[in-house]
Chain A
Amino acid sequence: MRDPRSSWASPWLSGSIPVLVLAALPALLFVGVLLYFTLWAVVFSFTDLELFGRKATDWSFVGIENYERLFTRRGFLESLWTTLTFTFFSAIVGQSVLGFLLASTLRRYRGSMRGTIEVCLMLGWLLPDIVAAFLWSATTSKTGLVNQVILGPLGVEPVNFLNDYALQVVILANIWKGTAWSYLLYSAALDNVPGEVVEAAKVDGANGWQRTRRVILPIIKPHIGTNMLFITIWTFTYFPLIYAMTGGGPGSQTETLPIFLYQQSFSVGKLGYGSAISVAMLAIVGVMSIFYLRLLKEPK
């Protein structure tokens, strides 16, 4: 597509490079600010800075103490495991798979059915987290909707879902809340799949599943990769819904890393330790994203 002989830009643009650079300058400034804050987190992860009290002003460098704490004190490793479970089931399996299924099914629909489902998905996406937490708590409590409408009539003893299945409930709630994004992304991606290719596969005798696996999925692979990266980042750092629903409990069953970080930074007030947790989270997702990048880079 592009002329390989020109090293920087298409010939028609080569006269406008200064303009383009100028256009990028504000973004550079903003990115610089973001880098500054990131650097701040990195630097202060080596200090004993606290939010309140004396160490808020009179802090000092403590070496890698905060990073040692990640492994020697209860909390970080347990939360990491919970976060991975939460992210895997609610985002990668739940939102992504459900979003894809919905997108591929609803493509065949026009009008009210499609509109209704889209609105339902969007309502979840747009509702403030704190309210979504109340909704889900009221739905799964012992006197809640599931017990009243489904289990009760079946003669099953009421179940306190947030007590017995806390992690499962927050995973479901997050699927409910976040599927809209994956759905919108995949339905647009599927619009890009040329109809002739699918038709050809059909003529060759491929059934629905084979057509999806051999033809459609490879074509939309880049979209799957980007989506995975985005929802992984979002879910890994997602805080308000779980915090409001269970505060990480019962015990520490639903204590994901953002909740752990929040507790340490704001309840305990140890900003230095909190920064170390942030940096560790950054590193972990950085490693995960290399995997997604691979997915994208594979030859088509």
Chain B
Amino acid sequence: MSTDTRPSSATSAALAFMAVIWVSPFAWLLSNAFDTGANGQLRLPAEPGLGNFLGAMSGPALTQFWNSMFIGVGTATLTLVVGSGAAYALSRLRIPGRNGLLWSLVLLRMLPPTGILVPIYFAAQSVGLLNNLGIVVALTVLNLPFAMLLLKNFFDTVPVELEEAAHVEGASLPRILWRVVMPMSRAGLAVVWFFTFTSAWNEFLFPLLFSRTEDAFPMSIGLYSAFGRNGSIEYGFLAAFSIIYAAPAIAVYFLLRRNMNTGFAGVGVKG
């Protein structure tokens, strides 16, 4: 569908206008991040400077960055590996009621994490997983239904004929998976990985309870050190830290963007 006429200038103006609307709330973030005397109000920086960024990066920020990376990358990768195994099997084996099964699993995810936080905590404690590995496992459990449904749909779009052709030529199963299935659903894998990564990257509640020592805290908890007692807030720190905090996730988005733009077509369920 590449034959459309060129966009009109009115549409372009509307889009530019929308872009402005969309970024305008960030005025608050920037004005506070670059104001070392930030007081949480929207104003031109009273004492412009980079002090907040220095403050946000000193201290445990680097350790927290690596912990966040561990949680984000770990959850996304574990979810992907575990999810694809099952999703491929579900896609290729004609198990009766498999679609209904997947949909019910996605619905289970309806249970808000806060609702089952306490049993998860006790379970993690009893198997000695009150640490960042435990967070990875817990978040994988919660993300798996979505991932499996998405992945199965992506695998469904890979034509079986190609696999059969490779089989006829004598390729083994692992080789077919590696050479045929993986490349053709690479985009889908990227999508699932990215969205699992961002949700784990932003997770606050599980680290708050699971991470036993300060060395294990991720950046989501670091962000909260901006909030003090009686509702006091260090705005400069909060704004600068959240920019630093969001940056890696945005970088990851750009690294995966090429894959994702072509990959989303597989998301729909072919009912």
Complex contact flag A–B (Cβ < 8 Å): yes
- Listed in ascending order, the chain A residues whose CB lies under 8 Å from chain B are 1-2, 7-13, 16-17, 19-21, 23-28, 30-31, 33-38, 40-41, 51, 102, 105-109, 113, 116-131, 134-136, 138-139, 141, 143-145, 148-149, 176, 181, 184-185, 187-195, 198-199, 220, 222-227, 229-230, 233, 236-237, 239-240, 258, 261-262, 265-266, 271, 274-275, 277-279, 281-282, 285-286, 289, 293, 296-298
Question: Assuming the A-B contacts A233-B106, A282-B111, are A123 and B23 also in contact, with contact meaning beta carbons closer than 8 angstroms in the complex?
Answer: yes
Q: Which 7 pairs of residues, A with B, have the shortest CB-CB distance?
A: A188-B264, A27-B86, A23-B85, A223-B268, A278-B115, A222-B268, A138-B28
Q: Which residues of A contact B140 (CB under 8 A)?
A: 30
A190 neighbours in B (Cβ, 8 Å): 1
The answer to whether B88 touches A20, judged by C-beta atoms less than 8 angstroms apart, is yes
Complex Cα gap A145–B22 (Å)? 13
Decide if A23 touches B253 in the complex (CB within 8 Å): no
B-side contacts of A226, CB under 8 Å: 153, 267-269
Chain A's closest residue to B31 (CB) is A138
The answer to whether A122 and B109 touch across the interface, beta carbons within 8 angstroms, is no
Q: Are B25 and A135 in contact (CB under 8 A)?
A: yes
**Is the pair B267, A271 in contact by a Cβ cutoff of 8 Å?**
no
Given contacts A30-B140, A195-B1, contact A120 B120 (CB under 8 A): no
Number of interface residues of B (CB under 8 A): 96
Q: Do B106 and A135 touch (CB < 8 A)?
A: no
Identify B110's interface contact among A7, A23, A40, A237, CB under 8 A: A237
Whether B7 pairs with A109 at a CB distance below 8 angstroms is yes
- Indicate whether A193 sits within 8 Å of B19 (C-beta atoms), given known contacts A266-B114, A278-B116, A289-B103: no
Are the CB atoms of B115 and A108 closer together than 8 Å? Answer: no
Are A143 and B110 closer than 8 Å at their CB atoms? no
Question: Is B213 positioned at the interface, with any CB of A under 8 Å from its CB?
Answer: no
The answer to whether B173 and A130 have CB atoms under 8 Å apart is: no
Neighbour of B42 across the interface among A34, A113, A148, CB < 8 A: A148
In the assembly, what is the distance between CA of A120 and CA of B270, in Å? Answer: 31
Which residues of B (220-238) have their CB < 8 Å from a CB of A?
Answer: 220, 223-224, 238
